[in-house]
Structure 1
Amino acid sequence: MTINQPVYINILEDCARFNATLVAVSKIQPNSKILELYQLGHRDFGENYVQELLEKQQALPPDIRWHFIGHLQTNKAKYIVPFVHLIHGVDSLKLLKEINKQAAKANRKVQCLLQVYIASEETKFGLDYTEAEDILQQKNQFENVSIVGLMGMASNTSHEMIVKNEFEQLAAFFKQHFDPQVHHLSMGMSSDYLLALTSGSNMVRIGSSIFGFRVYQ
């Protein structure tokens, strides 16, 4: 099994039209597929599980930019802080404080996105808009964290207008607080990335369309 190279190229072209970054979601995918994409010049890969990320980071080329896109437990932040490129899912003040603490120990400044809860589903994580606003007002207190944007996951629904509205609301909040030219709005996955891009996203997280469906053990 190999990656779907034509689909990857099409997605990359879509991202280029919107000046967006493509994060290839490689969770539960073998290193061979990651290397195949790496050899095409891709460097941004997203992982959901700390242990899997640690193993891949050790085994794969050092210039890969690893994005942690899953729910990060506070007690596991210390394992990825020394090398992670971007943490997408900062969903609490407690987690942000822990990342800052561990980044100070590692003598680095870690880039983070605040995950905002935009879906109409209880299974998603994230801050509400008021909580996100409060954290942004405190951001200068965290010397070893750089909040460089926002992340959101839309509702898992076939109703396009619901998804569009969720994306557009987050994009409007993003524009109030960040410069879209230099900061990240991480919205959109395989099923809705084009809608996300047209709604203002400049970073999409796509896995199954490129790598194929995952085989969970």
Structure 2
Amino acid sequence: MEKIKNNIEKIRSKLPYEVILVGVTKNRSIAEIEAVIKSGVMDLGENRVQEFKEKYEHLPKGIKWHLIGHLQKNKVKYVVGKVFLIHSVDSVDLAKALDRESNKKQVVTDILIQINVSKEESKYGLDPEDLPEALKEISTLENIRVKGLMTIAPNTENIDVLKDIFATTRAIYDKIKENVKEYANVEMTYLSMGMTNDFELAVEAGSNMVRIGSGLFE
């Protein structure tokens, strides 16, 4: 577990103070996750709802849980009221399902809109061209608060491609932020981009929230 502590210290040394480190706990044991928490990481990200449900019951209530994986509409009831932030809202229909469940539980759910800047068919996310229209519709939902954007970069070692994806996402984020008064229930607070292999490039481009899994444990 000393390795986890050292890994986290190394990652934190590369992050500006204001960047939030979300520790991704997919397929990790409770003991491993407890070591992450002990090292001061209280923002934890889960990809799968089933794993989230199990870990939520066994870990301290002070954790800020982030759902970062694809969310199906029929599973929103398991996360609403329990997670700090849902990163992966990729359709108006999903936002409406979250709004209905949030209304039922009398809570407001904070979300990020996932955009597919690389336009890879294997990735979820709204096409950036569809974002303004979707945002108008989502912003009318009273129990949803849009807190920013999320993207997943392609799995490539081509630094120029990664830089371009992150710069494009940042530009989209900035444009919405400039015109944020046009929308209700929208605050551009978080730009979630960057994972273990590319987080430094993402932070250079303006990310203020990185999602790191294997970098913590391996």
TM score, norm. by length of structure 2: 0.91
Equivalent position SS for 1:196? helix
Residue of structure 2 in register with 1:15 after alignment: 15
- Structure 1 position 141 matched with structure 2 position 140: yes
RMSD between superposed Cα atoms in Å = 1.6
1:39 Cα deviation after fit: 1.6
Number of aligned residue pairs: give it. 210
Most deviating of 7-16 and 140-149: 7-16
Aligned mates of 1:85, 1:114 — CA distance in 2: 15
Equivalent position SS for 2:15? helix
Q: Is the 8 A contact 1:2 1:33 kept in 2?
A: no
Q: 1:200-211, aligned counterparts within 5 Å?
A: 200-211=206-217
Q: Is the 8 A contact 1:27 1:48 kept in 2?
A: yes
Fraction of identical pairs, as percent? 38
Residue of structure 2 in register with 1:195 after alignment: 201
Q: 1:145-160, aligned counterparts within 5 Å?
A: 145-160=144-159
Residue of structure 2 in register with 1:94 after alignment: 93
Aligned mates of 2:209, 2:192 — CA distance in 1: 5
Deviations 1:62-95 (A, max 9, x none): 0101000000011111111121110000011100
TM score, norm. by length of structure 1: 0.92
Letter in 2 for 1:13: S
Q: Which runs of 5+ in 1 are unaligned?
A: 213-217
1:14 Cα deviation after fit: 2.1
Equivalent position SS for 2:103? helix
Aligned mates of 1:4, 1:76 — CA distance in 2: 31
1:137 Cα deviation after fit: 1.9
Deviations 1:155-177 (A, max 9, x none): 11111101110110010010111
Deviations 1:42-73 (A, max 9, x none): 21000001011001001100010100000001
Aligned mates of 2:6, 2:55 — CA distance in 1: 25
